[in-house]
Amino acid sequence: MTLTQRGTGIEIRGLRKAFGQVTAIDHLDLDIHPGEFLALLGPSGSGKSTVLMALAGFEPPTGGTIRIDGEDCTHVPPHRRNIGMVFQHYTLFPHMSVLDNVAFPLRMRGVAKEERRARAAAALETVRLGAFGDRLPKQLSGGQQQRVAIARAIVYNPRVLLMDEPLSALDKNLREEMQIEIKRLQESLGITVVFVTHDQGEALTMADRVAILQSGRLQQISPARELYERPANLFAAGFIGEMNQLNARYDGARAHFSDGTSLAVPQTALVAPVPPGPATLTIRPERVRPVAPGSGDLQGVVRDVIYSGAGTLIIAELPGGTEFRARISSAGIAPPAAGAPLGFALPPEGLLLYPAAA
């Protein structure tokens, strides 16, 4: 018995969910491709879990449609959706053995006892827990319980696998191990995965594409590399990783700072057209190169130097009081001392320009 299946696509159109006066999801449009691993990333209260609840059918949406494999599922009850789901706290049925837990979805589908035992055993084998079928969930470690939960979610070859912050209850080492394991499993099964997380590292590591949500709205959806290298807007830029943000006035070619200096803005810095006027120039700290005082594009005074193994973080203050960060390799020359003046070179290919936040 093999567990191969092809994932199906999901089409979300104009999805809306309001709890009383509070709007949790606001006219969300989202296309999830067949076989894709999509991460829904956002701060708490961004509506990412509500989207998942609507996909699972636990929370009927206030408006809009959800199509799975082209079929309108908006108001289909959860038990008829043929979706697999892994919960935050595993939610294995405590009174059933591990094997019975995994076989439960098959039992609900009227699969004969012999066959469902064989298929459940095969699913347990897939998550490398073949020998644990007779145990009770509470006799397993957190990581093992999570793998059982995954086995239970994939045993009936669902079209889509939903995961609601499934790794948040695990400790750091185990979490990284499970990230790789889940990713590998998803690739070998070819199943569509929608994965909710608030951990950006997790989203970037695992997902084919990452959708960033804030206040119930979609901010950006793109592959991990693009999301980090070319965030679509200032929120996405600030939310993923560290980002230096400099207030400037854009005249169509150069960014002028309040202290009178200016910098040429290359066309590659414009993710989207930016109208002349107030703007924010951004650059990742690891793109910044510290140079001798007086040279480079910006001048500042070093406030803190933080050594953290492979890298060293320099936190400086610019003339207007703005904080500015640079990350350099610890293997390079000795870092400057706190209080020393320092110049920064900003390579044009690292620059990104956005309209100033309203």
Partner 1 sequence: MAAGFFQPEGRRLSKAAVTALMLPFFSVIALVFLWPLLSLLSLSVLEPEPTLAHYQRAIDNPVYARVLWRTLVIALWVSAVSLLLAFPVALLMARSEGPKLAFITACILLPFWSSVLVRTAAWSVLLQRKGLINEGMQGIGLTAEPLKLLYTQGAVVVAMVHVLMPFMVLPIYGALRNIPADYARAAAICGAPPWRGFLHVTLPLALPGVIGGFILVFLTALGYFITPSLLGSPKEMMISTLISQQIREHLDWPFAAALVGLLTLFVTAITLVFSRLFGFDRMLGGRK
Interacting residues toward partner 1 by CB under 8 A: 56-58, 77-85, 87-89, 91, 93-95, 104-105, 108-109, 152, 156, 162
Instruction: Compute CA distances 285 → 193, 203, 311, 324, 347, whole Å.
Output: 32, 21, 11, 8, 11
Residue closest to 221 by CA, chosen among 206, 243, 236: 236
Residue among 62 and 88 whose Cβ is closer to partner 1: 88
Minimum CB distance to partner 1, residue 65 (Å): 20
| CB under 8 A, 24+ apart: contacts of 145-149 | 145/90, 145/92, 146/86, 146/90, 146/170, 146/178, 147/178, 147/181, 148/90, 148/92, 148/98, 148/101, 148/102, 148/124, 149/86, 149/87, 149/90, 149/91, 149/92
Whichever of 102 and 352 has its CB closer to partner 1, that residue is: 102
Task: Kindly tell me which of 161 and 328 has the beta carbon lying closer to partner 1.
Answer: 161
Residue number with CB closer to partner 1 (91 or 262): 91
**Shortest reach from residue 80's CB to partner 1, in Å:** 8
**The sheet that has 341-345: what strands, in order across it?**
289-291, 341-345, 298-308, 311-317, 323-329
Which CB atom, from 52 or from 121, has the smaller least distance to partner 1? 52
For the bound state, the minimum distance from the C-beta of residue 161 to partner 1, rounded and expressed in Å, comes to 11
Supply the DSSP symbol for 90: B
Question: By C-beta, is 78 or 201 nearer to partner 1?
Answer: 78
Closest contact distance (angstroms) between CB of 164 and partner 1 is 9
What is the closest distance, in whole angstroms, from the C-beta atom of residue 167 to partner 1 in the complex?
A: 16
Residue type, position 184, single letter = R
Q: Which is nearer to partner 1, 108 or 253 (CB)?
A: 108
Give me 62's structure tokens: 């206030």
| SS3 labels along 107-136 | HHCCCCHHHHHHHHHHHHHHCCCHHHCCCC
Q: How far is the CB of 14 from partner 1 (least distance, A)?
A: 24
- Structure tokens belonging to residue 242: 């560290």
**CB-nearer residue toward partner 1: 95 or 225:** 95
Question: Shortest Cβ distance from residue 246 to partner 1 (Å)?
Answer: 45
Least distance (Å) between residue 206 CB and partner 1: 21
Q: Which stretches within the chain are classed as H helix?
A: 48-56, 98-108, 113-126, 142-154, 172-189, 200-206, 224-229, 234-239
For the bound state, the minimum distance from the C-beta of residue 78 to partner 1, rounded and expressed in Å, comes to: 4
Distance CA 106, CA 113 (A): 9
Q: Minimum Å distance from CB 8 to partner 1?
A: 16
Q: What type of residue is 46? A: S
Return the biggest CA–CA distance within the chain. 79
Q: Which is nearer to partner 1, 108 or 180 (by Cβ)?
A: 108
Token digits for 337?
Answer: 């001392």
Residue 9 CB partners (closer than 8 Å, separation 6+): 31, 32, 33, 34, 68, 69, 70, 192
Judged by CB, which is closer to partner 1: 132, or 156? 156
Please name the residues in contact with 242: beta carbons below 8 A apart, sequence gap of 6 or more: 284, 285, 325, 327
